[in-house]
Amino acid sequence: MKKPRKLFIKENLVTIVLILLVSAITYLPLVDKFGIYRDAWQVIRTALSMGVDKIPGLFTIDRPLAGWIFLLGYQLQGDNVLAWSLVTFSLHLIAVLCLWWILRMLWPRERIATTLMALLFAVYPGFLEMPDAITYQIHISVLAAAMLSIALTLKAYQVENSFQKIFLISISVLLALGYLFTVEYYIGLEVFRFILLWYMQNRAGKPGNFIRKTSKTFFRFFPYFIVGILFLIWRLFFFKGSRPTTNINLLTQKYLASPLTMLFKVGSNWLTDFFNTVVGGWVVPAYNLSTQTGTRDLVVSIFLGVLATGLTVFYLAWDRRFSETNKAGDDLYIPQDWSRDAIWIGLLSVLVIALPTSLANRAISFQATLTNGLDRYTLLPALGAVVLVVGLLYRFNSEKLRWALVLMLLGSSVMAQYQNAVLFRDDWSSTRSLFWQLSWRAPQLQSGTVLLTAVPTASTVSESYHIGYPASLIYYPSVERPAIASQVLESGTIDDILMQIKDTESRRTVTFDRDYRKSLVAYIPTENSCLHIVDGQNPILPSGTSPWVQIIAPYSHLEQILVDASPMVPPASLFGNEPSRGWCYYYQKASLAAQQGNWAEVVRFGEEAKQLNLAPGDNSEWWPFIEGYLYMGDYDRAGEYLAIIKESSYLRHQLCASLSKPQSALDADMPESPRTYLMDSLCN
């Protein structure tokens, strides 16, 4: 006997509300604090400097259809990060609800189990890229399309009306075409579709030959098989990609050059990815994040985890009462040992979904920072992981133990996602601060300036264009080719800087030049420091400065800053409103005034900072004010700050070395009296 329609709607509506609330608790508390990260700068800079019609061209090297989807996304959302975040959240919610629909079609009597699977997928802590909404909206939208496509396939199997069946299959095939031709490694989901279709058709336990059952399933799967073949023919024989990580020809050459080595590596990555998805995804990110979270944010994450589990407990209690009151059930036969079936379906699903990324020589990686985003490869196999995990938990005889473990996984996952959001929030705050400080210090940069950066407080600033693109949007927003280049300091780039070479770099279809003779070192020495612009003639570097910066500091050219130009202000739509003017504002403005030789202005900024009780966390930042007071003849005030600098033997050593140079920039224009005062106070 089927359930009355009102009961069916009420039951499903309550479940949908639960999934919505838990998802909102997990992803929305800090949604207005996120910004622009990593690859998103490519889309934003292209749209603003070259025109939105150029966005599709960025993706011709690897995923052409993705470019048109990005174009549509930008036309709808513009450079409003909050809009991107909310749309990405909504698409993720659609994917979760479609998964729940799929699972309910597989096991309609297992309301609790299927709801738990959907909840765990919604908050799965192995995938931590939701805050990077601009970059990952394409992945989430394709996931939603794929889940809806598979759900419609299973629904078409259930309906008897021929017109409805044809309509559902047609929409499903179109969605399959869309998502496969957008992101290539999602092809593993087609095997996932086949597994679910086979199970739905053969779960009744009717006797029959396995090959015969599989043949019948393949007949229903045939339209999607054709879609997959068309995609493979296009990708292998017609599409000419140039991105190394997705280039089929380059990958084939690796296999042909070292077949045994590559096969061993693929097998190793495959098994490792399986373990990382099924086990590591629940544990490693949660542990890494908990060790980096401050007390206040840790308390908030615990509260959100408890709130999500509390809602789930309330749902479990409601469902128990609902079931006791409404005895009617579904008339579809479901095997009694459904949890055993869930285990093998989950196991197979993780393996087949993870295989394409392993074959492409890519692997899941969990890191304690936000630098690489390789946890994104857990997004798809997590579909099977949640089915496998819940299936295993339902093998326990103790219901209390089962609920305890499920709620623990749910609560810890919500906590991990919030703590991850805190990292993204703080990272964007550091990035915003960096560019606002740069604009305070440098009114304008010469075209062709190469910014050399080391930023310990912003881990998503990990590639050259992460600095060059936003800097170009600030200083030369209407120039199509990036006018400001940049480079991240690491072992592979130091030699080029020391040799003062010229080079060219291409990012997707955008090419920009670097001339290291126009370098400007702009770095943040420590988490307590402001942005420091290095004077290569007389670098003053605080203790704790990166060794790379110490090596290339002499190659920093202050003349790349056009000190008398009209100030260029970071656009608020990208970087938010100007931050509050704390110590770093006065330090940057005093440093700019010192470069201009406007010592009265330096002193004015120093006095304003003193009246506001502002002081640096990095004592080297007293130096421009010391210079200003000396030039203006206020030796007493200069002496106060010199006493602080003298506490650092490293700073004192650098200053004395500079003062001892004949005709050094540090003292070339300084009157004899203050120079002698400095030598006596610091060096003698």
Express each pLDDT in 86-115 by its tens digit. Answer: 999 999 999 999 999 999 999 998 999 999
Q: Which helix (H) or strand (E) holds 627?
A: helix 623-631
Please answer whether residues 622 and 645 qualify as being in contact, where contact means their C-beta atoms are separated by less than 8 angstroms: yes
Q: Give pLDDT, residue 537.
A: 87
Three-state secondary structure string covering 75-105: HHHCCCHHHHHHHHHHHHHHHHHHHHHHHHH
Residues 635-669 have pLDDT tens digits of 889 999 999 988 888 888 888 888 777 655 455 55
Dist CA 362 CA 65 (whole Å): 22
Residues 308-323 have pLDDT tens digits of 999 999 999 888 877 6
- Structural domain boundaries in the chain: 5-33+80-425, 580-684
Q: Which fold has domain 580-684?
A: 1.25.40
Dist CA 205 CA 116 (whole Å): 26
Q: Give pLDDT, residue 618.
A: 92
Residues 6+ apart with CB under 8 A from 628: 590, 593, 594, 599, 600, 602, 603, 606
Q: Which residue has the higher pLDDT, 606 or 491?
A: 606
Residues 445-468 have pLDDT tens digits of 999 999 998 888 767 777 888 999
In 398-522, where does DSSP find H-type helix? 399-441, 465-475, 491-499
Q: Give pLDDT, residue 36.
A: 95
Q: Give pLDDT, residue 210.
A: 75
* % of the chain exceeding 90 in pLDDT: 66
- Write down the pTM of the prediction: 0.92
Q: For the chain, what is the mean pLDDT? A: 90
Comparing C-alpha atoms, which of 665, 580, 655, 651 is closest to residue 620?
Answer: 651
Average of per-residue pLDDT across 242-266: 81
Q: Give pLDDT, residue 273.
A: 93
Q: How confident is the model at residue 567 (pLDDT cuts 50, 70, 90)?
A: very high
Q: How confident is the model at residue 328 (pLDDT cuts 50, 70, 90)?
A: very low
Q: How confident is the model at residue 332 (pLDDT cuts 50, 70, 90)?
A: very low
In 3-state terms, what secondary structure has residue 519?
strand
Q: Give pLDDT, residue 655.
A: 85
Q: Give pLDDT, residue 333.
A: 42
Residues 420-449 have pLDDT tens digits of 999 999 999 999 999 999 999 999 999 999
Q: Strand pairing of 502-507 and 532-533?
A: unpaired
